[in-house]
Amino acid sequence: MQKLKDRVAIITGGAQGIGAAYARAMAAEGARVAIADILDGTSLAKEIEAAGGRAMAVQVNVADETSVLAMAEAVNEHFGRIDILVNNAAVYASLQLKPFSEIDVAEWDKVMAVNVRGPFVCAKAVVPFMRSNGYGRIVNISSGTPFKGTPNLLHYVTSKGAILALSRALAREVGGDGICVNTLAPGLVLSEGVIQNTDMREKLTGPVLASRAIKRDQTPEDLIEPLLFLASDACAFMTGETLVVDGGSVMH
């Protein structure tokens, strides 16, 4: 039996990398998937439909509330409802490791706009549709880094720490509406972007692997089942929680 049969799921940042892996997996479990990305997700939507799933691509800038509201309206109009939001879009793999004193305010603001404002305005846009159906699952993607205080990425780590607090507070506001809000916190994942960022991979892979109880690289596939759990009926009595999936680097 498909875990997400006939549910409608929005995956931000879904056109490539980990987001694309989420979109494929959710479609395979019966969800009607909206690939919401600043990039064009049309080819992925066509791939999913060719495999027998249902998908649409909608371009959106998650840092812009007007763009996000238009995206939510388009998804609801196309599929007739919104059940699941995966707040995956984030600035990360393009960042360069540097001391906090070398991070300029413009770069800080860009990270915060996408990584913190984005999940806020996306939740604000979809919750009315979820409330009207008395059902919703919001999965916010954080990171293991806030638990470690990882250096040289202060803006990113701060933004992902904010996601933990956002999820907890939002869970209390919408729990009475049948909406569960939880956080998925991956470790260092060998996504397309991380593989291409040589500096990040060379400086972080060794220490991260050494810190893990399970001594191997993490792939997007390691996140699929935990994501499906948080997006499904299986977590109906779980909200405001953080699920860390990083091979045992963080244990909390």
Catalytic residues: 156
CB 55 within 8 A of CB 30: no
**244 to each of 35, 99, 144, 146, 164, how far by Cα in Å?**
24, 26, 7, 11, 11
Q: Give the residue carrying structure tokens 């638990």.
A: 147
Interatomic CA distance for residues 250 and 84, integer angstroms: 27
What is the torsional sign of CA 192, 194, 196, 202?
negative
Q: Give the residue carrying structure tokens 């990584």.
A: 115
The per-type count for the chain, helices as H runs and strands as E runs, is: 10, 7
Interatomic CA distance for residues 38 and 119, integer angstroms: 14
DSSP 180: E
CB 145 within 8 A of CB 242: no
**87 to each of 63, 104, 107, 221, how far by Cα in Å?**
12, 26, 21, 18
Q: Single out the residue of 114, 72, 109, 65 nearest to residue 93, CA to CA.
A: 114
CB 39 within 8 A of CB 63: no
